[in-house]
Amino acid sequence: MKKVGIIGGSGYTGGELIRLILQHPALEIDFVYSTTRAGKPVSSAHPDVLGRTDLLFTGTVKPEVDVLYLCLGHGKSRDFLHNHSFSETTLIVDLGNDFRLEDSCEFQGKSFVYGLPELQKEQIEKATAIANPGCFATAIQLALLPLAKNKKYTEAIHINATTGSTGAGVSLSPTTHFSWRNNNLSWYKPFTHQHLGEIHRTLNQMDAPAELFFMPQRGDFTRGIFATAYTTYDGSLEDAQYIYQDFYQSAPFTHIATEPISLKSVVNTNNCFIHLHLHEKTLLITSCIDNLVKGASGQALQNTNLIMGWEETLGLELKATVF
């Protein structure tokens, strides 16, 4: 069993990571660090693990853990690592955005690799530190990677993606209150969302830069991302389906659906479902993920499995509840 430390364990991402690790056959939680809840039961913040663990939140860290997951707010991981030392052999997985935008980021002797397994599995397997992708970035990149590899777009790509309220984090804001969010829909950060940087980095890395027009939206549900992207496409639907099936043939969590997809089919799983629709010369790609699992904690465990040499699906064979 590999010992795990979780930093920032009282939020949504930390809570989801705790839930997943508790049922992972090769990982064991050593400590869950929280400055706001030290000494309190983990189940006080995450009642869904009541009866499954007696762990208490702690305000101290143990430097000898095998894996360290950073579930802090964006921009806080570097500061935390500056102020705390860990073993040279500790695998660090950052679920924030501190190390995502560089092809290879060296920090305190660790080389952070961008952790999108469908993009660069071999590099991840050799990594000592992972920059876990953002949730929107995961859904959108998985929608575009096959087109990028095959240089199948020549014009701008228009993207619309709606995320649940957990995407905003556990801290309250005016747009996360039930009375505002319920029966409501709105956009935010139009054309400027921070996850665009990751997507452009990947497309440039693949020598397939694109003009992207991205409209993020807040949905009146808790979990998941429903993303659509469309662009001019010169080819048949059968050609596009072959390109996608071929690209993801060895990806255990990314699946191409022949029928239209909906969000509930992937919520609570580490899956990404993709559907293709061709209208005249426009290809519509629909991509669905759970923002807390494939878009965060599940992908963090998927990357851990790859680095440890375990089955990629270990501890992640989860089923959605559609009805």
Name, in order, each residue with C-beta under 8 angstroms of 121's C-beta and a sequence gap of 6 or more: 306
pLDDT-based confidence at 58, cuts 50/70/90? very high
Name, in order, each residue with C-beta under 8 angstroms of 68's C-beta and a sequence gap of 6 or more: 4, 5, 7, 86, 90, 91, 92, 93
Which residue type occupies 184? N
pLDDT-based confidence at 104, cuts 50/70/90? low
Average pLDDT of the residues in 125-131: 95
pLDDT-based confidence at 315, cuts 50/70/90? very high
**Mean pLDDT rounded to a whole number for the chain:** 94
Which of these is catalytic: 71, 105, 135, 272? 135
What is the Cα 292 distance to its own chain's centre?
A: 7
204-249: per-residue pLDDT in tens?
Answer: 999 999 999 999 999 999 999 999 999 999 999 999 999 999 999 9
Average pLDDT of the residues in 283-311: 98
In the prediction, which pLDDT does 169 show?
Answer: 77
**CA distance readout (Å), 277 to 71, 108, 239, 302, 313:** 36, 46, 12, 29, 29
| All structural domains of the chain | 2-133+294-308 (3.40.50.720), 135-291 (3.30.360.10)
Instruction: Please answer whether residues 203 and 210 qualify as being in contact, where contact means their C-beta atoms are separated by less than 8 angstroms.
Output: yes
pLDDT of residue 103 exceeding 80, the answer is no
| Residue 210 token pair | 């694109």
188-198: per-residue pLDDT in tens?
Answer: 999 999 999 99
> How does DSSP classify residue 281?
T
pLDDT of residue 115 exceeding 90, the answer is yes
To the query of whether residue 135 is one of the catalytic residues in this protein, the response is yes
Instruction: Please answer whether residues 115 and 133 qualify as being in contact, where contact means their C-beta atoms are separated by less than 8 angstroms.
Output: yes
pLDDT of residue 105 exceeding 90, the answer is no
Question: What is the C-alpha to C-alpha distance for residues 16 and 300, in angstroms, rounded to an integer?
Answer: 11
| Chain length of the chain | 323
The share of the chain scoring above pLDDT 70, in percent, equals: 99
In the prediction, which pLDDT does 28 show?
Answer: 98
Name, in order, each residue with C-beta under 8 angstroms of 148's C-beta and a sequence gap of 6 or more: 202, 203, 206, 208, 210
Question: What is the C-alpha to C-alpha distance for residues 256 and 261, in angstroms, rounded to an integer?
Answer: 10
Question: What is the C-alpha to C-alpha distance for residues 7 and 83, in angstroms, rounded to an integer?
Answer: 13
22-56: per-residue pLDDT in tens?
Answer: 999 999 999 999 988 999 999 999 999 999 999 99
Instruction: Please answer whether residues 248 and 255 qualify as being in contact, where contact means their C-beta atoms are separated by less than 8 angstroms.
Output: yes
pLDDT of residue 170 exceeding 80, the answer is no
Question: What is the C-alpha to C-alpha distance for residues 72 and 94, in angstroms, rounded to an integer?
Answer: 8
pLDDT-based confidence at 167, cuts 50/70/90? confident
